[in-house]
Structure formats: structure tokens, C-alpha cells
Amino acid sequence: MQNNATATSPCDIRDLAFADQGKRHIEWAFQSMPVLQIIRKQFIKTQPLAGIRLSAGLQVTAETANLLVTLRDGGAKIVLCASNPVSTRDDVAASLVRDYNIPVYAINGEDHAVHESHLTAALDHHPQVTMDDGADLATGLHTKRQESLPDVLGGTEAADAAVGRLNAMAKQGTLKYPVIAVNDARTKHLFDNRYGTGQSTLDGIICATNILLAGLNVVIAGYGWCGRGIAVRAKGMGANVIVTEVDPSKAIEAVMDGFRVMTMADACALGDVFVTATGNQRILARDHFDRLKSGAILCNAGHQNVEIDLAALAKSASSHREIRPFVEEFGMRDGRKLYLLSEGRVIASAEGHPASVMDMSFANQALSVEHLLKNHASLEAKVYPVPDAIDKQVARMKLESMSIKIDRLTPEQEIYLASGCEGS
Amino acid sequence: MQNNATATSPCDIRDLAFADQGKRHIEWAFQSMPVLQIIRKQFIKTQPLAGIRLSAGLQVTAETANLLVTLRDGGAKIVLCASNPVSTRDDVAASLVRDYNIPVYAINGEDHAVHESHLTAALDHHPQVTMDDGADLATGLHTKRQESLPDVLGGTEAADAAVGRLNAMAKQGTLKYPVIAVNDARTKHLFDNRYGTGQSTLDGIICATNILLAGLNVVIAGYGWCGRGIAVRAKGMGANVIVTEVDPSKAIEAVMDGFRVMTMADACALGDVFVTATGNQRILARDHFDRLKSGAILCNAGHQNVEIDLAALAKSASSHREIRPFVEEFGMRDGRKLYLLSEGRVIASAEGHPASVMDMSFANQALSVEHLLKNHASLEAKVYPVPDAIDKQVARMKLESMSIKIDRLTPEQEIYLASGCEGS
Amino acid sequence: MQNNATATSPCDIRDLAFADQGKRHIEWAFQSMPVLQIIRKQFIKTQPLAGIRLSAGLQVTAETANLLVTLRDGGAKIVLCASNPVSTRDDVAASLVRDYNIPVYAINGEDHAVHESHLTAALDHHPQVTMDDGADLATGLHTKRQESLPDVLGGTEAADAAVGRLNAMAKQGTLKYPVIAVNDARTKHLFDNRYGTGQSTLDGIICATNILLAGLNVVIAGYGWCGRGIAVRAKGMGANVIVTEVDPSKAIEAVMDGFRVMTMADACALGDVFVTATGNQRILARDHFDRLKSGAILCNAGHQNVEIDLAALAKSASSHREIRPFVEEFGMRDGRKLYLLSEGRVIASAEGHPASVMDMSFANQALSVEHLLKNHASLEAKVYPVPDAIDKQVARMKLESMSIKIDRLTPEQEIYLASGCEGS
Amino acid sequence: MQNNATATSPCDIRDLAFADQGKRHIEWAFQSMPVLQIIRKQFIKTQPLAGIRLSAGLQVTAETANLLVTLRDGGAKIVLCASNPVSTRDDVAASLVRDYNIPVYAINGEDHAVHESHLTAALDHHPQVTMDDGADLATGLHTKRQESLPDVLGGTEAADAAVGRLNAMAKQGTLKYPVIAVNDARTKHLFDNRYGTGQSTLDGIICATNILLAGLNVVIAGYGWCGRGIAVRAKGMGANVIVTEVDPSKAIEAVMDGFRVMTMADACALGDVFVTATGNQRILARDHFDRLKSGAILCNAGHQNVEIDLAALAKSASSHREIRPFVEEFGMRDGRKLYLLSEGRVIASAEGHPASVMDMSFANQALSVEHLLKNHASLEAKVYPVPDAIDKQVARMKLESMSIKIDRLTPEQEIYLASGCEGS
């Protein structure tokens, strides 16, 4: 254990000396998390988590810190470990310990053994509620701490893949407490996939390359929520957007939205910048590399690093170098040069999603925990979606945070709607 | 019966002399119905309706004519009566009879007795397939021609309200043949509610008033498909768009799309033009009329004529006159003047939806009839949605008609998707 | 002279019985002419035209009526004749006489002799100020009433071609009084060419054809003020806009604005709708007609009817008919069909420019007359542009009419600017 | 002199060891400077600068390097010194010397004495052509090397302030050779002020703050070219844009473009982000700071650091800290927090304008030098703008680089235009 002599909470972190910087980061993020601010004020009054032991296995970031502070102020006794060892912000961890009195077990780059020891610390907390981003705590409880399971009232899970595993457990009857899958909230999707990804993808491209987007042909593969978010922002930056799709319904929607739609093979001859956002593999593959214009820039906003066929790209090239940070130049045998961003991994702003995007996600998590505690008696040991009422409540709070008031149905109008007369 | 002496088909129409004009209208509409053109070519080859007796109770318009000609060319023996007596185009009816050899029983403005006699003529055709827009034929068969029911293979229904009644019958077990509700096809909705209504509402406002939209504050009540279609077009014409909503999820989406959102009470002080598109009543009501700026223009793109409280408007006013066709001026007691368009009924272009919008709707109908005939053996006597494959097929044909090619999944990619690895 | 027995002013108009309708038209237009409303209020107080004899040779429309009423309320004694015999609104003329006490000499469709007699009536008024739209009155005074010239303090001219002739006279020293060319005011251009033409061209296309613009390729020839006004509105309606240009500076600007730019020859293969707005001839010519897609719609928003080579189009076609009002179908020998709107003349909304566009133009005229009267002593007998201060004043009044307040420079800021430190 | 032992050219630079990195930077920039690529190919053939001694006092960046290589390949013998000591890229300087054989005298952060010695080295080159960005070389020649002046054929100047001084010299008759002011080319302005500043300002804000722009109220002070460039991009990112102006003509244009316009005092209550782009001082001043919402972000895209009144801001605040790099937090006495970006200096992307923007500027410079050499005999010793033909030529080359072809006037059309018939 490092220089944590003066820590006010038990912890295992890099260095308390980073706490000043971490505090600034947490406070800056808090500025852009107005929904969590509203929830925090409510929680301070209503104490919905009074005395509840909560273990969190989340990414240790400034935004997460604000979620935890909100839960703490709602009465929870919290222990935090990292769901992802490489994303831990050591400064944030330090400030959580020093300034917010929350025990943290997380060090950026921690090795497997240390990571396991941190997880163990979180399990030792005997949580009544788990908050997971990858099911580490839920899995740990079900495998190593079955004696603790009866005390667990419920949990939340933020990662889609983990939700799949938990669902499988629920089917087999091995899941022992209710879990809310927070990733599916509409407010989360709206801000994250559409608006968050739209901005961060373009910003990532500009930061990596410093190119001027206006007047360029930007080819976007996939017209799902991410794809259309990117398309509308690229158009907003003056680019001429081309969409490729495999689904005719989405393709015709892109046409009606004013975009050009064509096959990727045809788009290759026109595109200056390519962004894949399909969730499928080999969207840009061998045949495409042969057709691209020299200078074409390739990046991915979709899934992992499989959308651009990296092996085929390497094989097509006769030379290869990093020409700028995050920009690799592939020299083709015919003299053309192709540029790959971020090694084909998801391109994004340097800092990831804005705090205001995480605000929506974390607001759903905070209210979901409150919901679990209020309703645990009637909940079964399965995976639940975020209740619609919470989703709407988050939207309502976001509007409130912007000082935006909306109408409410009059009793008359409620009756009219209920009578089934409405149309359009 | 009028001057139908030379008619080549049995019919009851206004006057064959109108046929020249009707033919031009039908041909012009056909230009803008490329999907139906593709289906017609296929039907000519494949004859999916060969020898089938089909009775249609639809609005007698140039677009409907092209649907019927397509079905006729697919082998059907058709009789047409009007679903709505006041929308019948007498010239189209005349041309259908004279030039396309399709029996028509429809006269614009026909009284109840004549309308019934026309319905009877369509029932007398002993249809194997019914195409309804309001369930006139289906109801007639189930109530007056039960002996014909065993021969009926299926039907289509275009009106939402009638779908509700048919569903109720199916629940009670009294529906005797399968019906496809064609109104719910995604391609229909996309073109109709979003793009069709968007353009036709703005065009209707401009035609009625000849105002310049750029720089005006346009208030749109409701951010459903119609509302957002109108919002994006109003923005496209240079207006400054304000949205009102009762649903916080839709409200926050409007905010993120760059629109101002506020209560109608607040919007009243700012708006130059108001468009209701909610499907609810009294969206603009007594209190609002008191707050509106002098010169405010009020219209409805939603449901019937209940969204603007017409009785309250009349009561608020001390004077009332038609100042232009489709524009009524209400003089308020304090000297302000409010302008109501189209008597608060749905405002639209003079001619209603463009033929290319109806093309999508009727393409779904034509392919649904083909589907009914192919699959009637396995279909139950209930209400079905348009099969997803047909919806996609219509989208595909629309793309084809625009010479747009899209990608197809490679076998590899199909496997990858099926493996559940995809994300985003 | 017709049924003008009860006219309160001397006049020669169609029929006073039309006055009710005319009054409604004038009042409706007045609603949308807020700048003129402000000027009228000022003029009532300040009486800048007190006792001045003013003859106007303008188009007799509802908007013109509001200009004249404003000038009358400023103290002018007015006589109106028509600058264009075929645009005279007989109902407006009747109301001006009956309800506003302004003598009018104008009948829709008047023949040459009657037109001359009306012009003579306006000259007989011995005007001190002339308002022309084609220099009829100025020419009449200089050729037939030279004895009246010394009394003339000044005039305004709205037609570009006439401005050219007046400039030539000024050069030769034969122009005898100062004239302000009102057509060049920036506020006039902004509203007229960019926003007025943008909306009215699209509205004209939709009214003539009832097509859905979303998803169509709309080709706009010329990226001047009209062309870019049309381009931005077409994009706003969901069209995919292609621009053609001969000027590389304008072409690159169109590219940077996000539009596709190509030669007309290449655009022919893609376009669904073509709009010419260049001010040049044969923009769509023989070679283009051979390349167009069947169904292509051709129209002109530019100059006269020379931008589309009508003779070549007729020659290319093997058949020709009017398929709808304002839509001619040309059948090509290879079976393709082309559609020409409005006989290749300028396409526009049914009613021409919105009143709010004319408001800006007429506000410049009203204030220009005031300027002439205040400054005639120091003005020479030549053609002047609208003074910049008036142009700005009109912009300011327009903002005021919209309840929009803007900042003013502080004295400090004035000094800073004057010191030449500013940049950007 | 540092480790320049192996330099192939005389020079004074930081370290040749940086040349590898510099070479990558130069090559990457060259990718995005297609117009300069075209000019370079031409210059290689035509050698317009064969044997000409050229001294350049410019910012030592990768883009400048490509300009110099182009001129070198056109035959020039070049010496480069830095116009701005703090913007020198030492790696670029190193590569120019090692890889491109161009003598460079520039070290990042060089002190006054070293800077002067570098300038002297450039003057010792006895230039026939000068390229200045601040008139250092022109001033040096006119003051210290008057004996060299007769050999100078001409020069270019890129800085507006220096153009003012040169114009003053020309008026007094003390300017001794012709200078082309390259900053005023239309193609330069279009790309730089409108599209360059638009993107780089938004990118700068996002990089500094990581906020999500969609849904925020962004207030832009000034609707000149920079302001409207920023406004259109902010709208494109989903922001709700408010414009403030002092000029009513620009204000009404902003309204017609669909933006809200109001006074800064009113905007203060609404804005989330403020961008000044006026060229004037104290746009955000004491009174405004009192009205701003807590969390408001303030930045400047205009002139120097005077648009936001920094002294007043400091005085208004009770606390002050850097909360993130480039973000200062000012705590107001009432608890509100305001955030100032980049110390009120021009905010921009980390790397400044994209290479494609500089491409247009430098293309104008390269062709202006060619023009000077061809026409020096007929040019007077005064300041010239970039000839219109060069400006158009640059636009044409930019289109060519994008493979965009445009139409040319036919001889007939030229005659028609010359006849003055055109309108619109």
C-alpha cells in the first residue's frame, strides 16, 4: 500500500497526493450533471438508502464519483472497486477517499492479483446492494460468497454482455436477487448513442487529424441510432454525408432524411472519411481498400475493432507508420495512402462521453437503486428493465435542470385519451 | 343513371365525359408511384390474383385508380365503390370505367341511399377478397351476406378505427376471415406521418395565408411522428420552432434536436403560427386565446377538429369573418385578431398527400393481397399486421425505383450477427 | 366608365361592387406589413408629405394599397394608375376608391388606349413626386409635360431596366429631377431574392405538381442570391441538392455549404427536379434534354423565360400536352417524358411574394419619398441609391415589429472601433 | 548554435534530431493541401521563380513548409526566418533544413537578440522577393538595407495591421516596391473566417470543456463572417443559437436565418455558452457578469483578448482557480460560478486552422509571387490586393482537387450576359 497514511477511510489507491486534482475533476463534472444534483438534494432529505451497505464495481471516473456521493448522501455505506483496471483515474480515487470519505480500492493499471484483492474488499463489505458494470460483484457473490446472498436486496448492471449472462442465470434459476439492467433506459440511449456518440465521434476525428470537415464526403456505415447521430452532426459540420446500410427500411429513411445512400463499394470511390457504426464485422474489407481514394481516413464508432478488417488492411499495405498520434498511415502498393484512426477501435473524444451524457445514465442508476429498495419485497430474482416511470422521471428532471416547463394533461384530456378517440 | 350509355363496364358514375381529364390525372399520379409500377410489372408476369373476385371500398382518387389497375393486371376481377362519398373524383371514376375497364359505383356527393346501392353492387360481386377503408365491405358481408363469407379468402383494412372494430370481432370469434391492417406498415408511417404530413402541413399554411415562414416563431404542439415531421420542415423553411409536449421523454428529445420547448401558455406570448399535432382535444383553449399575439395563425395537423377549442374561440370573439378562403378572422374584445385555418380541421395541401406517399401505402396493400392469397390456408380469422417481409420489400422496391443500391450481408456477417457478438 | 356612380373619388375602375372583397385583401396584407404599419403611425404624426401631390404608377395590389394609404396618411394627395395592366386587382382598386378615398385609374386587362388615358389622368395630377415601376410617369413628364417638370421634387423607381434608362438620361443631362432607385436596398434584396424567392419557388413547384420533395435530387442552376435561397429551402424540405455554376468562387462556396456541385451534363443523369436561377439563357438546352431521366421536372426561378431553351425542348419532343394546370408533358422520341412548369416563366406561389416581403420593399419606398422631400434642395438630377441610413432604419423597424431588441454600441465601443483596432 | 553539425544548409535551429518528426508533420499537412500540390506540379514544369532569391518571414509551421517547398520547386532560392518566435515548430525547422535543403533561422522561444540575428540572416540573402507576416523583412529592407531595395521586385504581406503600415508608407511615397496584401482574397476569407473559424471555435470549446453542445443555448455576439460561421456550426451540433448584434441589417439577417436575436443583457439570462466574435471590446462586461447563469462558459473567437472585460470579471469574482487546462473558474459573491476559456484569447482547436484552410491562403501567396515576377515592370510601389483572376484560379484548383467539374459559359451565353439582359 502506498502513501495512504493519512487516508480517512480504508482504501488501496495510488497516492492521496493526487486528491487536489481529483477534487477539481469531480467538481467540474458535477457542474454538468444537473440531474444527479437534483437527485442528490432529494436523497439528502429522503434518505432512501439510510444505512444500506452498497458495493460498487464501476469505472473510477469523475462522473462515477458524483454518483457515489449522491448515494452516500442518500444514506448508503459504500465501497468502490474498479470494473475496468485501465480506466481508473487515480486522482479521482484519491479525492473520493480524502474529501468524500468513501473507501476506494482501485489503482490505474492494477494487475490481476491486485484487481482480485480489490474485488474481495468490496465483497467483504457484505453489500445489500450491488452496482456492477460487468457483473464482477454479482458473480463474486454467487460464486464465492453464497452465504451473503440472502442479505442482498438487489443490484444494477450497466454492461449489455453481463445482462445477457445474468438473464441466462435467471432462466436457470441460479440468480438469487433482482437486478435492474440500467443500460436500456430511453433517456440513456437518447443521450448516449444519438447525441453523445454523434458529437464525440466527430470530435475524435477532428482531434486526431485536424482536418476541416466542411465540403468533405463523409461515409457512414449503418443508420442505427449511432449512425444517424453521427450523420446529423457530420451534416451539421458542413460535410456531404453518404450512408450505407443493409436494411432497406433504414436505407429509405436515410434517403428521406436527405442523405445519399449507396453500396460501400460505390462509396469507396467518393469518400474522404469513413465511419463504421454497424455492430458487424468487415464493413470495410479487402475489396474496399483497393477502391479507396488516396488520403481516405478510416475510423470506427461501432463495436470493438472488428468493423474495419485490420488484418486485410495490413496485408494490402506495402508500408506502415504512425504519422500522428492515433493516425496510422498505410501505403498501398499502387502509391495510395490510407489513414486508420485509433487502431480501428471506437473513436471518441479524448475524455470519452461528456458528463451530461453520463448524468442521464447515472441518474437512472441512482433512481433504480431507490426503486430496488422500495420494492424488493415484490421483486423476483430476475433481470428487470429500468421502470418506465423512472425513465420519464429522469427526463423530467433534465428538463427541470434546464428551467424548461412542459404542459400536463388536464383531467378532461386524460379522459379523452383514455376513451381511445385519439389518432395521428 | 347518367350519361353512361357508352360505358364498357357496368357502373354508376357521374359522367363518362370527364374521362379524358381523369385519364390525365391517373397517368400523372402513376408517374409518382414507382413502387406500384414495379409491382404492376411483376403482377403482369406472375398473375397472383388470376381470376380472383375483389371488391374495393376505397376513396376514388387517381392514386387508388393506379392500385386497382395494378391488381387488375395481376388477374383480379374488380368492382369499386366509394368508402367516402365526398372524396370521389368523378373524372377518375369515368376514366376507370372507360379506359381501364373497371366497374365503378361512385358519384361525388352521393346521398345515403345511392351510397348504399353502390355498396350493394360491390357485395353482389361475391368478393373473394375485400379491400376496405372503413370496413364497409367487411361489415356488409358479416351482416347481410353471411352466405358469401365461406368464399372470402381475406381482406385488407386501411382505417385505424375500423381495425379496432375488426379486432373486437376477432376477440368475440365473430370475424370470419383474415384481415391485414395495412395502416401500420413502417414504410407507410415513415412517408405518411413524417414526410407527407411535414410537407403538406407547411404547404397548406402557405397556400391558405401566403405568409413568409422564415423568421417567424412556429409553435408545434406534440412531438410525435407528425409533430417532428412538421418541426423539421418548419425549421427547414427558416422558422424558429417552439415545441410543446406533455411527455417529458419526447420533450427532452425535442430539446436535444435543437428546438425550444415550453408550456403552451408561455408559447402563446411568442408564437406567430400554431400547429396542433397531438391527437388530443383543447390543446389551444380559452386561456390560450387570451394570451395570443394579435395576428396569430392557428391550425391543426392532428385529429379531427377538436385540438383547437372552436366553441371557446367563437365565444372569446366579438367579431368573425372569412377574410380569405380557408382563413377566418376572429376579432377579440381587446382588439387583437386571431386567424383560424380550415375551420380547425386537418390542414393539408390542396390535393392531399402526394402520390409518392400513397404509393408506399398502396404498395403495402397490393403485396398484402398477394400474401393473403398465397397463405390463406394457414391464416386464422383475425387481424394481422403487414408482414415485416412485405414492409421491407416495399422499402427495397422504393430504393430500386430511385436506382439506389444497398449492401447485403455477407454469409460471414450473417453468422457474426447470429452469434450475438454485435453491439452498438 | 362603369358602375362608379357612388365613388367618392374620381376614378376609372372595374366596379365598386368589388370593394368589400378588396377591403378584406388590403386588411389581410396590412397584417403582414408591420414595417409599413410603424411608418404609417409616424407619418400620421409628422406629416412629411403634407399637401404634396404624388402620382403613382405601380402594380395595383393589396400591398401597394397599403403603401398608398401610408403616404396618404402622411399628407400626400395621391393619384394611382397601373404600371402593369394585367396585374391590376379590380377589387383592390375598388376599395381604394370607396374605402380609402384614393383616386385610381386602373382596370385589369385594360387595352393600350385605356392604359394611356389612365397614365394621362396621373400626369394631369401635376405631381410633385412620382413613384414608378417602369418609369411610365417619369417618361411621360419628360416627354409630354415638360412644363410640369420644374414642380417635380423627385421620384422613386422600382424596376431595374428603367433605372438603366434613367441613368442614361442623367448622363446625357436630360433627367430633370432626382430619382431614388429603390430596388437595390439591402433589406429589399435579403427578403426578396433570398427568402422570398426561396419559399415561393418551392411552393410554386409543390402547388403545380403535388410531389414530395424529400429524398428527391433537386438541381439548382446558379448559386447567386436566388439560387442559394432556393438551395437552402430545398435542403430544408429534405431534398438532396445539387448545384451547377460557372463561377468557381460560387461553386466552391456551394461545396463548403454541403451541396454537391457538378456540371449540368452530369446533373442531368441524377436530377428529379431542375430549377434555373442564373440570369442567363439556355441553361437547360438541347444536349441536356437528351440526358434527363424520364419524369424530370423543369422550372425557372430566374430571368424571363430564356433559361430553359423552349424551342429546343419543343423540337426534341414527339408529343406535347398539358397534363395539369401549369404542367406541360413533353414526350421524347425514346419514350421519356419531361415536365415543364409555368411555360418556363418564373415559377412562384400562386399569389406572388408574401406581403411581408413587399413590406420591406415598400417601406424603403415610403422612407425614400420622405428623404426626397427633406433633401430635394441638395439633391441633383440623377439616380440615387436608397441611402444606407434608410436601409438600416427599415431593418430596425422590422426588428421592432418582431419585438426584437438589439444592442447599441457604447460611446467607448464607438471610440474603440474608430481607432481602427478592430479585427476579425 | 546547436547540434546542426550535419545540416546540409546553413541554419540556426533547435536540433536536427527533430527532423524525423518534422518530416511526418510536413507530409501529413501536404495531404490536406491539394491546391498547393497542383501549384507545385505546375511550378516544377514552368519554373516561374527560377533563380530568384526569396526571403520569407513567416510562422514556421508544417503548412508554411509546404509553401516554401512549392516555391523552391518553382526555382526560388529561399531563406526562412520566423515572423513569430513562439509559434516556431522546431521539428519542422529541422526537417526543412535536413530533408528539403532550405536554410532556416528560427528557434522556438528565441529571445530578441537571436530573433534579430535571424532576421539579419534573411536580409543578408539580398532578397528579390519578400514574403512577410508582419512586415519584418519589408521594414528591415527599408530601414537597414536601403542599398538592397533596387533589386527587390516585390513582396507579399499576410497581416492586416502591417498592410495598414505599408499603405501609409505608399501614401507618403516611401514604399519602394509593390506588395500584394494576400489576406483579402475571397477564397482565403471563405475558408478561414467562415468555415475554419466555425469548426475550430466549436472544437476548441469541446476540447477545453468536454461539454455536450446539443440542447444548450449558445450565445454568439456578432454576425459577421466569423459569427455566422460559428452560428451555423453550433446549430449543426444541436445547440439552440442566440445571436446578439449592433447592426440592424445583420440582426435581421440572423433572424431570417432562423436564429433568435436579442440584447446581450437578455441573452445573459438564457445562455449556457457565450462566444464573442465582434472585433470590439467589452462585449461581455460588468453588468453582464451579474446576470449570467451559474455555470456559464465564456470564450472569445474575435479579436485579441478585449472582447470579454477580463479586469471587470476578476473584480466581480470572490474566488478564482484553474479547474481544468484552459478553463478558469470565477466564483461570484452570490455563489454563481463562471468559466472563462483560454484566458479570453481566441479559442481554437489545439493545432490552429486545418491545413486545408491554410492551403487556400498559401495558394494565393504562391500565385501572387508568380504574378509579381511576371508583372513587376508594370507594377507601382504600392499595396495591391490579390488579383481577382488568382482568387478565381485558386477556387478552380480547389474544385479540381476535389474532382469537381463545373460548367463554362458558352460563347452565346457570354454575349447574352454582355448584352446586359440578365437579371435576378
Contact C399 D194 (CB under 8 A): no
Secondary-structure breakdown of chain A: helix, strand, coil percentages, each rounded to the nearest 5 = 50, 15, 35
Closest Cα in chain C to D159: C423
Query: Are the beta carbons of A58 and A83 closer than 8 angstroms?
Result: yes
Name residues 195-234 of chain B within 8 A of A (Cβ): 195, 222, 224-226
Q: What is the pTM of this model?
A: 0.93
C-alpha cell at D329: 473558474
Contact C224 D398 (CB under 8 A): no
CA angle, A192 as apex, A340 and C257 as ends, to 5°? Answer: 60
What is the complex's ipTM, to 2 decimals? 0.92
Contact D424 C226 (CB under 8 A): yes
Contact D212 A402 (CB under 8 A): no
C-alpha cell at B63: 392514386
What pLDDT does D253 receive?
A: 95
Closest Cα in chain C to B353: C210
- List the subunits that have 3+ CB pairs under 8 angstroms with D: A, B, C
DSSP-derived letter for residue B277 is -
In angstroms, what CA-CA distances link D368 with A107, D39, D150, D376?
59, 12, 20, 11
Q: How far is C314 from chain B (nearest CA, A)?
A: 20
Pick the CATH number of A16-188+353-401 from 3.20.20.70, 3.30.1360.200, 3.40.50.10490, 3.40.50.1480: 3.40.50.1480
The fold of the D196-344 domain, in CATH, is Rossmann fold (3.40.50)
What is d(CA D82, CA D137) in angstroms, rounded to the nearest whole number?
Answer: 10
Choose the weakest-confidence range: A4-8, B57-61, C96-100, D209-213: A4-8
The one-letter code for the residue type at D344 is G
- Which residue in D236, D235, D242, D289 sits closest to D263, CA to CA? D242
Average pLDDT score over chain D: 93
In angstroms, what CA-CA distances link C239 with A259, C271, C404, D250, D329?
9, 11, 32, 28, 45
Contact A240 C259 (CB under 8 A): yes
**Would an 8 Å CB–CB cutoff place C330 in contact with chain B?**
no
What is d(CA D80, CA A52) in angstroms, rounded to the nearest whole number?
Answer: 70
What pLDDT does D6 receive?
A: 54
Number of H helices, E strands in chain A: 17, 15
Find chain D residues with C-beta within 8 A of B217's C-beta: none
CA angle, A228 as apex, A222 and A234 as ends, to 5°? Answer: 105
Best of B237, B399, B402 to disrupt the C interface (most C CBs within 10 Å) is B237
What pLDDT does C2 receive?
A: 44
Specify the higher pLDDT residue, D421 or B257: B257
Find chain C residues with C-beta within 8 A of B324's C-beta: 24-25, 28
Closest Cα in chain B to A159: B423
Confidence of residue C424 (pLDDT cuts 50, 70, 90): very low
Residue D8: pLDDT over 70: no
DSSP D64-115: HHHHHHHHHHTT-EEEEEESSGGG--HHHHHHHHHHH---EE--TT--HHHH
Query: Are the beta carbons of A22 and A91 closer than 8 angstroms?
Result: yes
**Would an 8 Å CB–CB cutoff place C325 in contact with chain B?**
no
- The neighbour count for residue C371, using CB atoms within 10 Å, is 21
Find chain D residues with C-beta within 8 A of C301's C-beta: 424
What pLDDT does C353 receive?
A: 84
Query: Are the beta carbons of D349 and D203 closer than 8 angstroms?
Result: yes
- List the subunits that have 3+ CB pairs under 8 angstroms with A: B, C, D
Closest Cα in chain A to D190: A214
**Among candidates B190, B226, B255 on the partner chain, residue whose Cβ is nearest the Cβ of A253:** B190
In angstroms, what CA-CA distances link C238 with A212, B67, B232, C205, D234?
24, 27, 9, 14, 20
Q: How far is A208 from chain C (nearest CA, A)?
A: 21
Find chain A residues with C-beta within 8 A of C238's C-beta: 256-258
What pLDDT does A7 receive?
A: 52
Tens digit of each residue's pLDDT (9 = 90 or more) over B382-394: 999 999 999 999 9
The average pLDDT across B335-361 equals: 90
Find chain D residues with C-beta within 8 A of C253's C-beta: 190
- List the subunits that have 3+ CB pairs under 8 angstroms with B: A, C, D
Closest Cα in chain A to D323: A24
What pLDDT does C7 receive?
A: 52
Contact D237 A355 (CB under 8 A): no
Confidence of residue A1 (pLDDT cuts 50, 70, 90): very low
The average pLDDT across C388-407 equals: 96
Contact B215 D239 (CB under 8 A): no
Contact B237 C213 (CB under 8 A): no
Residues in contact with A235: Cβ distance below 8 Å, sequence separation at least 6, in sequence order: A241, A258, A259, C258, D236
In angstroms, what CA-CA distances link D298 with A355, C118, C409, D219, D334?
19, 64, 20, 10, 18
Tens digit of each residue's pLDDT (9 = 90 or more) over D379-398: 999 999 999 999 999 999 99
Residue B305: pLDDT over 50: yes
What is d(CA D246, CA C408) in angstroms, rounded to the nearest whole number?
Answer: 5
The average pLDDT across D203-219 equals: 95
What pLDDT does C105 receive?
A: 97
Tens digit of each residue's pLDDT (9 = 90 or more) over D323-334: 999 999 999 999
Choose the weakest-confidence range: A84-98, A126-140, C265-279, D182-196: D182-196
Tens digit of each residue's pLDDT (9 = 90 or more) over C31-85: 999 999 999 999 999 999 999 999 999 999 999 999 999 999 999 999 999 998 8
Find chain B residues with C-beta within 8 A of C215's C-beta: 195, 402
**Among candidates D203, D323, D350 on the partner chain, residue whose Cβ is nearest the Cβ of A27:** D323
**Would an 8 Å CB–CB cutoff place C302 in contact with chain D?**
yes
> What percent of chain A has a predicted confidence (pLDDT) above 90?
88
Average pLDDT score over chain B: 93
Best of C245, C252, C392, C397 to disrupt the D interface (most D CBs within 10 Å) is C252
| Domain boundary assignment for chain C | 16-188+353-401, 196-344
What pLDDT does A6 receive?
A: 53
Contact D238 B257 (CB under 8 A): yes
Query: Are the beta carbons of C234 and C257 closer than 8 angstroms?
Result: no
**Would an 8 Å CB–CB cutoff place A236 in contact with chain C?**
no
Name residues 238-297 of chain C within 8 A of A (Cβ): 238-240, 252, 255-260
Query: Are the beta carbons of D93 and D14 closer than 8 angstroms?
Result: yes
Choose the weakest-confidence range: B218-232, B293-307, C85-99, C183-197: C183-197
Contact A238 C256 (CB under 8 A): yes
Query: Are the beta carbons of D281 and C418 closer than 8 angstroms?
Result: no
